[in-house]
Chains A and B, each alone.
Chain A
Amino acid sequence: MTAVVEDTEEFVEESAPEVPIVGEATGGPVAIVRAGLRLSPEFVKGIGVTMLLALVATTGRIVIPIAVQQAMDHGFGSPSGKVDVGEVERMVAIAALAVVATMLSATAMSRRLYQASESGLSGLRIKAFRHVHDLSVAHQQAEQRGSLVSRVTSDVDTITNFIQEGGLTLFVSIAQMALATIVMAVYSWQLTLLIWVCFLPLFATMRLVQKKTGARYSAVRTAIGRMLGSVSETLVGAPVVRAYGIEDRMGARMDEAIIRTRRAQIGAQRVVITTFSAGEIAAGLANAGVIVVGTLLGVGGDLTAGQIVAMLFLVSLFITPVQWGVEVLNEAQNAISGWRRVIGLLEAVPDVPDPGAAGTDLPDRPLDVHFDHVAYAYPGGARVLHDVDVTIPARGRIAVVGETGSGKTTFAKLLTRLMDPVEGAVLIGGVDARRIPFEQLRRRVVMVPQDGFLFEGTLADNVRYGAPGADDAAVARAFEALGLGDWLAGQPHGVATAVGQRGESLSAGERQLVALARAYVADPDLLLLDEATSAVDPATEQRIARALEALTRGRTTVSIAHRLSTAQAADEVFVFDAGRLVERGSHRQLVDQGGIYAGLYASWARTAVGQAI
């Protein structure tokens, strides 16, 4: 016979928080920049001096064209044919001083800029990192891991790039063009107008071109993202790829993504080069115009030869802003959207906030828990837990059972305040969980999740995560106390054995053993085990259970159990079904009652214990 299993419920709960809750900040670019500067006041500290230095540095660039004009008109190229060496010497000396002053200002300005922007950005990174940890589990899990990482890495980097390269270039370029225009206008307004006419089409279409390059660049980023995705899939899924012999299929997929990336890159480059070249053509036209119109004006006596040649030099000050303008606009756009994402993260209000010092202290006694008519629903979702009203006595040993999707995990998350109820209250030691400072709550109420995540490092490093002060001997004692001394002795380097990335050098069951030791050294008053031994062999599990029992005499223990052996040993069993607490009592009472628990137990007994009850 094939058992009919209803599991649509499971699907509903697991995928409930579908909407990514950590959004992007809205508002126009100006509002975003304002908000960004508020977050990182380091950027604007002393910005006045930096801008002043930038202005001096830019003014220095105008020195050369003016020097050329002066030298020609008063030195070697005057129409009279008279050459005045002394005049040129004086002028060159002044210009050289100006060039050196320019250089020094540029250095000072650039140093200040790096100092301010890097300080501001590292502060922003740290703030954003902390904020991710302050968000609730629901928030954290609704986001893709990579997307959270990028908010503290590449998103911040785009802001850096813009501030250090683009932002300054933009400011300097505008100043440079303004100054050049003023100087040119002094020489000849007609030629100034002509040069502007040559460059005007480029300025006018810049936004349009920028949109196009922006789209091409984003196509490149998408292509690279896809390529990395397919490569990482091949790497992470290497065992499956090998075991099923699908190397050719994976190879073809990666090759396709690689070629797509190449095409996108070349496509983006074509647009960039076109813009760059348009700047060169405009400069060529402007130069020709200066020669032709300038000569005509010069013949009329409005213009000297030196002024005409100076105009040619000034034209070259125009090309750079035009040629890089599109790139700068792209960078600006990237920076704004990077800022948007970082600010969006920081604006996401932690919906499970720490009351901190304003909270209420936990009483200094064993902790009892009272669920006072508690209900829970995911944001925008249906209720997954209804009216739970139950007390867990201090030092009690409670087992919580139910099918996937029954609400038992929600119960555990509310109990450890990973989430807050939408109705009712969870009282720990008589205090509303929402009023308990995290510093006390996390020290005295510890949960061991099913996935015993380990950090790269040694066994000892990971156990110490539960109690920073524990030395290697204390770590070893923790394993001993849990009946895991033999297992530890079998490890190549004892407590100094490296666990690898994410603990992947250990098997899933072994990782759970380490996670238990980690919770053990934390020595909490209330221990919640969420299927914490699901991948451990039965004998070891029973050994741990007995050890925990001995150790937990003084503390309150709640076990979310998959294997009902745990339930048998508990003082009381809570049975959840479809979001409600439907049965409670001792194992024997519940089996005798013949309800849901009796059914679960029969199924468990058939598969695991091998006996008919």
Chain B
Amino acid sequence: MRPYPADASPTRRGLWVLGLAIRTEKKVFAGALTGSALYGSMTVGAAWAVGWATDHVVLPSLASHHVGAATLAAGGLLIVGVAVAKVLGIFGRRLLAGVLQFRMQARYRELVTAAYLRLPLAWHQQRPTGRLLSNANSDVEMAFMPIAPMPMSLGVGVMLIIGITDMLLTNSVLALIGILLIPAIIVTNTVYVRHAGPRFARAQELRAHVAEVAHESFDGALVVKTLGREATETDRFADRARALRDANISAGRARSLFNPILEALPNLGVLAVLLFGTQQVASGHAQPGDVVNVAYLITLLAFPIQAFGWVLGDLPRSVVGYERVAAVLAAEDHTEYGVKTGRRDGVPAGLVFDEVEFAYPGAETAPVLRSLTATIEPGRTVALVGATGAGKSTVAALLARLSDPTGGAIRLDGTVLAEYAKGEVSDAVALVPQQTFIFGDTVRANVGLGDDVSDEQVWGALRTAQAEKFVKALPQGLDTVIGERGTTLSGGQRQRLALARALVRHPRLLVLDDCTSAVDPSVEAAILDGLREQSDDAAGATVVVIAYRKATVALADEVLFLENGAISARGTHDELLESSAGYRELITAYAKAAEEAESEEREVVA
């Protein structure tokens, strides 16, 4: 992906990124460059016009005490004309440079976000959300930052050539001063960039740290408060805030030193021109207008030359941003899809686990699933039971193909999940995860997810999920916007919406991952009743439900007990109570507690 050698200098890499932008938006760049050239030549033109007016209008008139109306008008018009042409140049240059910059940003944002959608969940899980957000936002911005001043700096090239030629034609001694000034400014600027660049980068990084600590600390505000750790949290934040302060002061010192030097250089140049100019005029080698011309040119050129330095100075940051973005775009890690299509007849799916293994990246020595084998007949409702941390949610994720097994295979209707074409698995399988996610959108959109579903179907799903009542009570019913920017829902309400989201799609395999944990027992009982009614329908689904509760387990035709990364026992609830000690311990824990409590009480009473 990187078209330059790994050891290329940052400047060379940065120039390549600039080239990339130029190649991508050739026409816009050509326009911006034309505008810039016009601006550059007119900047020189302005100095020339002032010089011309001094020699041909001001000095002769003042010497002769006579004003020629024509020359006077010519002088005035010339200056105004040059200013108008310069403005046209500025418009073309800045506007088109902006278009170029913003188009490149938008283009790469589209590419990066498309990559996020393409890359598998495992890739996402290894990267903090905050970093991925900044890849799409500030890194893209940084990568194309030097584009805005680039046409200007190329215009400066034109300007310098014309300017130097103009100075040389005017007076070679004075021109030498101007010519020497250019490297002086560029060298100072380069030293500045080298010196201050890392300081600014460090400040930028520390700024992110400050935000990270604030975010985490405010997220955990309840824990901070209940454990009385406000002071230590403030210390933790203060450390970061002070580090940022010191970095900013250090970067500010560099600026404080170099900016005044950069401003003083052209001023000293003007003074030198005055000094040598006077000698040149005295020796008859120059006209007073020449001196004015060169002096004025220096003041005009100083700023654009500095801008040229900015481009060079921004290049290293641009490279950092671009390479982060390129790493996302180049991520090979992708979900392979096959070509097989699934059934569309709404018939419940059959499921086979064939020696499924799974280990999280970085924890290969402690696999979650070791050898999970099981067959689930179509239309069956199966409860997956296991202790906290046994890997139940992992199984749920594998079923929805959010990850792929690290060994073995899962077959849906006889076909390995990975052999299905894109979209086929999500079409057949609906997963309701333990942690619900609600989009900042209307209730209708959150349930329908953009599919063509009628309001009746949405209401039907909400009814089964026991969400009908509270949705009806919302100010705009189905059109109420929920989520961070809208109406806040309770945990239980969110879970019920997520359930409705799955039900409305009439999946052939429904996977419920302990998705009613925040719902009151009586509401849960009602949901389970609704599900039972639905599963009695002919067009029901195969259901895999993860639960601890006896009633949920009772809903199942069969129970799979997950222990040590494999199915240690399977059968009906009653069979497992007989055959599996682990299952017995887990599932009867409440009943046993109830018995114990009662016998304790009886003892007390007795």
**Which parts of B349-397 form the interface with A (CB within 8 Å)?**
362-363, 365-366, 386-389, 393, 397
- Chain A CB within 8 A of B187 CB: no
Closest chain B residue, CB of each to CB of A285 = B80
Minimum distance in angstroms from A403 CB to a CB of chain B: 5
**In this assembly, does A239 line the interface, its C-beta being within 8 Å of a C-beta of chain B?**
yes
CB within 8 Å of B: which of A264-289?
Answer: 265-266, 269-270, 273, 276-277, 280-281, 283-285, 287-289
Beyond known contacts A99-B271, A102-B264, A245-B427: 10 more, CB 8 A cutoff: A5-B466, A68-B295, A113-B252, A129-B241, A145-B215, A243-B402, A276-B94, A283-B83, A288-B80, A487-B388
How many residues from A make CB contacts under 8 Å with B?
193
The yes or no answer to B550 lying at the interface (CB within 8 A) is yes
Tell me whether A501 and B437 are in contact (CB under 8 A).
Answer: no
What is the bound-complex CA distance between A448 and B222, given in angstroms? 9
A14 touches B469 (CB 8 A): no
Q: Within residues 60 to 90 of chain A, which ones have a CB less than 8 A from any CB in chain B? A: 63-64, 67-68, 71-72, 75-77, 79, 83-85, 88-89
Is B341 engaged at the interface, CB distance under 8 Å to the other chain? no
Q: How far is the CA of A122 from the CA of B279 in the complex (A)?
A: 55
| Interface assignment of B434: CB less than 8 Å from any CB of chain A | yes
Contact call A276/B90, Cβ cutoff below 8 A: yes
Is B417 interfacial (CB-CB < 8 Å)? no
B406 sits at the interface (CB 8 A): no
A173 to chain B, nearest CB (A): 14
CB < 8 Å: which of A125, A304, A312, A588 contacts B598?
Answer: A588
Contact yes or no, B299 A229, CB < 8 A: no
Partner pick for A291 among B58, B114, B211, CB 8 A cutoff: B58
Sorted nearest first, the 4 A-B pairs with minimum C-beta distance are A284-B83, A442-B228, A245-B426, A114-B252
* CB of A604 closer than 8 Å to a CB of B: yes
Task: Sample 13 A-B pairs with CB under 8 A, ordered by A number.
Answer: A75-B278, A76-B291, A85-B279, A243-B400, A246-B450, A287-B46, A291-B50, A442-B227, A468-B232, A490-B366, A568-B593, A588-B598, A600-B521
Query: In terms of DSSP, what is the predominant structure of the interface of chain B?
Result: helix
Q: From A240, A281, A539, A588, give the contact of B586 (CB < 8 A).
A: A539
Question: CB within 8 Å of B: which of A95-135?
Answer: 95-96, 99-100, 102-104, 106-108, 110-111, 113-115, 118-119, 121-122, 125-126, 129-130, 132-134
CB-based contact A242/B84 at 8 Å: no
Contact of A145 among B219, B493, B524, B550 (CB under 8 A): B219
Asked if A522 is at the interface (CB within 8 A of a chain B CB), the reply is yes
Partner of B248, one of A10, A111, A114: A114
- With A122-B242, A243-B431, A251-B117 as known contacts, state yes or no: A14 contacts B389, CB within 8 Å: no
Q: Are A140 and B230 CB-contacts (below 8 A) given A239-B433, A299-B65? A: no
Residues 251-300 of B at the A interface (beta carbon under 8 Å)? 252-253, 255-257, 259-261, 263-264, 267-268, 270-272, 274-275, 277-279, 281-282, 288, 291-292, 295-296, 299
Chain A hits for B230, CB < 8 A: 130, 133-134
Could you tell me the distance between the alpha carbons of A240 and B63 in the complex, rounded to whole angstroms?
85
Partner of B214, one of A103, A149, A231, A265: A149
User: A-B contact count, CB below 8 Å?
Assistant: 535
User: Which residues of chain A are near B238, meaning CB under 8 Å?
Assistant: 126, 129
List B residues 209-259 near A (Cβ within 8 Å).
Answer: 210-211, 214-230, 232-234, 237-238, 241-242, 244-245, 248-249, 252-253, 255-257, 259
Given the contacts A228-B137, A242-B121, A509 and B95 also touching, CB distance less than 8 Å: no
Query: Is the CB–CB distance between B54 and A537 below 8 Å?
Result: no
Q: Pick the contact of A453: B222, B259, B389 (CB < 8 A).
A: B222
Q: Which residue of B lies closest to A570 (CB)?
A: B597
Q: Which of B62, B435, B592 contacts A79 (CB 8 A)?
A: B62
- CB of B202 within 8 A of chain A? no
Using a CB-CB cutoff of 8 Å, which residues 509-540 of chain A contact chain B?
509-510, 513, 515, 518, 522, 534-540
B residues 134-155 in Cβ contact with A at 8 Å: 136-137
Give A237's nearest chain B residue, CB to CB. B437
Residue of B nearest to A255 (CB): B110
Interface centre among B278, B435, B439 (most CB of A within 10 A): B278
Q: Which of A180-188, A363-371, A380-388, A605-613 contacts B (4 or more CB under 8 A)?
A: A605-613
Rounded to whole angstroms, the CA-CA distance of A456 and B387 in the bound complex is: 25
Given the known A-B contacts A262-B106, A545-B593, A600-B521, are A234 and B54 also in contact in the complex, defined by CB atoms under 8 Å?
Answer: no
A45 within 8 Å of B by Cβ?
no
Q: Which residues of A contact B589 (CB under 8 A)?
A: 538-539, 541-542, 565
Interface residue A178 (Cβ < 8 Å from any Cβ of B):
no
| Closest beta carbon of chain A to B522's beta carbon, Å | 5
Chain B hits for A5, CB < 8 A: 466, 469, 520, 522-523, 526
Q: Is B423 an interface residue (CB 8 A)?
A: yes
Q: Which residue of B lies closest to A88 (CB)?
A: B278
B128 lies within 8 A of chain A by Cβ: yes
